[in-house]
Each structure stands twice: as structure tokens, then as C-alpha cells.
């Protein structure tokens, strides 16, 4: 059952929170040993007691009595927040992150955490604290990242809805690789934390993941809304209530491989193009777009601003010689790059980002939604650290293989990953539906129409022996 279906059943009494918790824990016991998506699971008796209390208490909101696990980069009071690092393993959160508090206020029962790469760096979920998360469609493969634990838990039926976060595709790549939906909202829609600098680092955002777009919209509506303690944010705009409305036919722009800038593994382009053609059959107008901006300039801007942000967040750890060796190689590389940047280098990178935003605005004068694959290759072997080449082209950084997610992430555009089907290898792939800033509801309506026509998560769930 999806989360809204569970909510309705809990509200009308055809399902109890205790029965739902029992089923959740039984599913986790059955498959999590193989997948390793849920970590820091709370005590069974305590969770069942909380579910029993939910059954006898007034409903707080639509999540009342629904089990959820929080990505292990965010705080849930009383649970450890390891961030995938031995430096923070066992550190108990004293309070909830802003959006986690909103989930609790809506009635969610927090059962544990979902696995993530160390500090969320790299689109492959493994770390020295909790190990690697395996793709439920092929346990020898990666589940993606950094929201890999959340996506794999959804695909495996361990939770019905989940949170994630996205700087460089972390709500999109794992959703695509696990045949679920993931949404990077317009920047400022879901607030971050009111701590440290709240002006400079506009790359990452939290967002929802689900097995259908209605659940995605419901969770987004719960997470969203400006925080008065923070200067940059959007006022709440409900999206769920708009999903049942018939909208006009849309102009969809297929960006392909960005004029050859993005190499794709065999089968990625074919799967994506077939899905885009199917969208045209739903009544939308599809056109192929020329690259609207220089991909290499965009990449240089991205890696500068990303390293600047990572160094700001982890620089204090790096400067402590006793802690530095506990940082993985990719983290040290990012921090060193960030510390070496001048203020004018960062400024120049942000000027390029601004140029791309202006170019994107012109692009959206002609189309409503642009489309790219969610990843440039299929899930790779879980023991690999990161891909080193795609289609014969060498990758010059640990994250270059995810360049396809940069156009939206660099300027904070909303993106919904929709499942696009399966390759001949039996592995799932996804599409990024990208809109202009603030078009979150429009993207969700398109995703809902796509889901009604395809229903990939329900049609082809993973099978465990």
C-alpha cells in the first residue's frame, strides 16, 4: 500500500497502526539483511508501543501511525546521526531537523534511519559505519546515492514513503535505479537548518521519495514551507490538491546527450527515448532541443561551488590532523579544492551559474518541461567506489559520471524522477522531468499522468528469493 492508502485505512479503522508496524518490522526482518537500507532500527517493543498509542490517540495528520525512516544525514531526536562517518557514529541527535519535526507533527512514527554515503558524498551508498546498500533489483549492484537507503527501502516495501536530500542527484539517481519516484523541489521550498551560514550555499535541498506521485506530493506538502528563522525560502504551495485536475497538453523538450557532452552507457539513451515517445502518446508535444548552455562551463562552475560548499561544511574536521584520516578520499579531495579557492574564483563560478539561470529562463519560454536521463549508466557493481569510464570516455573526478544532474542542481530547478522502465539487463532506469523554478505542482501532475499510464513500481517490484 502507498502511504496515502495506508493513511486512509488507518483513518477509517480498516487498518491499525499496530498491524502496520508489525507488517513493517516483518518486512524489514525479511529483506533488510540482503539490502541493508534501514540502519539504526529502534527497539521492536518500543515501536509497537508507540503504534498502540497512535491507535488510541486523536489523529495528528495524514502521517498518523505511519512508520518512516529518516536519511542518516538529518537529525531525528533520540536516534544516532552517523552521517556515514566513524567520526559521528553513535552521536545521538538532541532535536529534530526542521522537516523531521514537521513529519512527526503530522503523526509519523520514526523507526530508524536510512543508509547514506559518508557525508552524502558520491552517488553510491556505502560507508565504514553501516556498510553498503544493495540494489533490490540486483543485489550485486549499487542502489545509487546519496539517498540510496531511502530508495532501496521504498522499492523493497520496507517503508511506504521516505525523505531524501539532493545536491548532485541524490533524490534522482537512486530513485531511477530503484524504480521509484524522487523529487528535488525548487530551491527554498523545503527549508534547511537555521545554523551556520544561511546565504551562500544554495546547492542542496531535502525532498520526498515515494512509489507514486500522489504520495510524493503529500510528503512534499508536509515538508515544505518557509522557516521564519531563515532568510531564503518559499511560502507553502499545496501540490497534492492539484494532482486530480486535468491540465493542458505540455511542451516537452528532450535534451538527449546535451550535444554529445554526456556519454551514456549502452541502452540508456534508447530506454529514455522510448519513454519520452510514450509521453508524446499521452498528448504532449515533444521536441528535441539543442544544448541551451555550454556544458563544460556549467561543470566548472558546479565543481567550484560544490567544493566551496563541502570545504565550508567539513573544513574544521580536515584541519584536525587526528580526524583527517577518518575522511574518505573523495571528501579530502573536495575539501582541499575548496580551501584552495579564492573569493573571486567562487564569484566567477556564481556568475556562470547566473548566466545559466538566465539562459534556462529563455529555454522555458519555448517549453514547459525539459527531460534528461536520471543517470548516465546502469547500476554498477556494489563493490566499486565509483565508475571510472562511460562508453569509453574516462571520468576525471569521482562524480563526473553524474554530470547529467548538474543542469538542474546548479540553479535550484525542481525535478521529478519518474521510472522509465527496464533495460535488457533487467535493471531500472529513470527520467528527470525538469521545470522552471516554482513549477513543482506542474511536474507532479505530469508525473501522476505518467504513473497512471505506466505504474512501473507496482507493475514490476523487486523479487527476493
* 317: in domain: no
Is residue 239 pLDDT above 90, yes or no?
yes
* Pairwise CA distance, residues 410 & 435, whole Å: 13
* Pairwise CA distance, residues 77 & 441, whole Å: 31
Cell 574518505 belongs to: 328
* 319: in domain: no
ω into residue 4 within 30 of 0, thus cis? Answer: no
The SS3 assignment for 445 reads: helix
Which pLDDT score, from 0 to 100, does residue 234 have? 82
* Pairwise CA distance, residues 81 & 443, whole Å: 32
* 277: in domain: yes
Which tens digits make up the pLDDT trace of 22-58? 999 999 999 999 999 999 999 999 999 999 999 999 9
CA 363 to chain centre: 25
**Biggest alpha carbon–alpha carbon distance for the chain:** 61
Closest CA to 300 of 244, 245, 356, 250: 356
Share of the chain above pLDDT 70, in %: 100
* 328: in domain: no
Which pLDDT score, from 0 to 100, does residue 263 have? 98
- Report the CATH number that the domain containing residue 419 is assigned in CATH: 3.90.1300.10
Mean pLDDT of 282-301: 98
| Number of separate domains in the chain | 1
Which tens digits make up the pLDDT trace of 259-279? 999 999 999 999 999 999 999
* 309: in domain: no
Confidence of residue 465 (pLDDT cuts 50, 70, 90): confident
Return the C-alpha cell found at 357. Answer: 539561470
* 357: in domain: yes
Instruction: Report yes or no: 187 and 199 within 8 Å, Cβ to Cβ.
Output: no
- Put simply, whether the predicted model's pTM sits higher than 0.95 gets the answer yes
Return the C-alpha cell found at 14. Answer: 480498516
* Pairwise CA distance, residues 31 & 137, whole Å: 12
Which pLDDT score, from 0 to 100, does residue 247 have? 82
Q: Which domain holds residue 253?
A: 3-296+344-459
Mean pLDDT of 389-402: 98
Mean pLDDT of 226-250: 89
* 226: in domain: yes
* 314: in domain: no
Confidence of residue 237 (pLDDT cuts 50, 70, 90): confident
Amino acid at each position: 500500500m502507498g502511504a496515502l492508502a495506508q493513511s486512509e485505512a488507518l483513518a477509517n479503522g480498516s487498518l491499525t497502526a499496530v498491524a502496520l508496524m508489525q507488517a513493517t518490522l516483518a518486512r524489514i526482518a525479511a529483506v533488510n539483511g540482503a539490502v541493508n537500507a534501514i540502519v539504526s532500527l529502534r527497539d521492536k517493543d518500543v515501536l509497537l508501543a508507540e503504534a498502540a498509542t497512535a491507535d488510541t490517540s486523536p489523529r495528528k495528520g495524514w502521517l498518523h501511525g505511519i512508520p518512516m525512516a529518516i536519511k542518516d544525514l538529518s537529525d531525528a531526536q533520540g536516534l544516532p546521526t552517523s552521517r556515514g562517518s566513524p567520526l559521528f557514529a553513535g552521536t545521538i541527535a538532541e532535536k529534530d531537523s526542521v522537516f523531521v519535526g514537521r513529519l512527526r507533527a503530522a503523526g509519523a512514527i520514526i523507526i530508524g534511519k536510512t543508509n547514506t554515503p559518508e557525508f552524502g558524498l558520491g552517488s553510491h551508498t556505502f560507508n565504514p559505519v553501516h556498510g553498503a546498500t544493495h540494489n533490490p533489483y540486483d543485489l550485486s549492484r549499487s542502489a545509487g546515492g546519496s539517498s540510496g537507503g531511502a530508495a532501496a527501502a521504498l522499492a523493497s516495501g520496507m517503508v511506504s514513503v521516505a525523505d531524501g536530500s539532493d545536491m548532485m542527484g541524490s533524490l534522482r539517481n537512486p530513485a531511477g535505479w530503484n524504480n521509484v519516484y524522487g523529487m528535488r523541489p525548487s530551491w527554498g521550498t523545503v527549508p534547511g537548518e537555521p545554523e551556520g551560514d544561511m546565504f551562500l550555499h544554495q546547492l542542496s535541498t531535502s525532498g520526498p521519495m515515494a512509489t507514486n506521485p500522489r504520495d510524493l506530493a503529500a510528503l512534499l506538502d508536509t515538508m515544505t514551507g518557509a522557516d521564519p528563522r531563515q532568510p531564503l525560502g518559499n511560502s507553502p504551495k499545496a501540490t497534492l490538491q492539484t494532482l486530480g485536475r486535468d491540465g493542458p497538453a505540455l511542451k516537452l523538450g528532450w535534451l538527449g546527450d546535451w550535444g554529445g557532452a554526456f556519454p551514456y552507457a549502452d541502452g540508456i539513451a534508447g530506454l529514455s527515448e522510448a519513454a519520452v515517445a510514450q509521453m508524446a502518446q499521452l498528448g504532449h508535444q515533444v521536441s528535441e532541443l539543442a544544448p541551451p548552455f555550454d556544458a563544460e562551463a556549467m561543470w566548472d562552475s558546479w565543481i567550484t561551488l560544490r567544493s566551496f560548499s563541502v570545504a565550508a561544511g567539513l573544513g574544521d574536521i580536515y584541519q584536525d590532523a587526528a580526524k583527517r584520516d577518518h575522511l574518505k578520499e573523495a571528501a579530502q579531495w573536495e575539501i582541499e579544492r575548496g580551501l584552495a579557492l579564492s573569493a573571486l574564483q567562487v564569484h566567477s563560478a556564481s556568475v556562470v551559474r547566473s548566466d545559466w539561470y538566465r539562459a534556462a529562463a529563455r529555454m522555458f519560454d519555448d517549453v514547459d518541461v525539459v527531460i534528461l536521463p536520471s543517470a548516465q549508466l546502469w547500476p554498477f557493481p556494489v563493490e566499486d567506489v565509483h565508475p571510472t569510464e562511460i562508453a569509453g570516455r574516462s571520468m576525471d573526478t569521482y562524480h563526473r559520471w553524474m554530470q547529467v544532474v548538474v543542469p538542474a542542481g546548479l540553479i535550484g530547478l525542481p525535478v521529478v524522477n519518474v521510472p522509465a522502465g527496464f533495460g535488457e539487463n533487467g535493471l531500472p532506469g529513470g527520467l528527470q522531468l525538469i521545470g522552471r523554478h516554482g513549477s513543482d505542482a506542474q511536474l507532479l501532475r505530469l508525473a501522476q499522468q505518467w504513473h497512471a499510464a505506466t505504474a512501473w513500481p507496482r507493475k514490476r517490484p523487486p523479487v527476493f528469493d
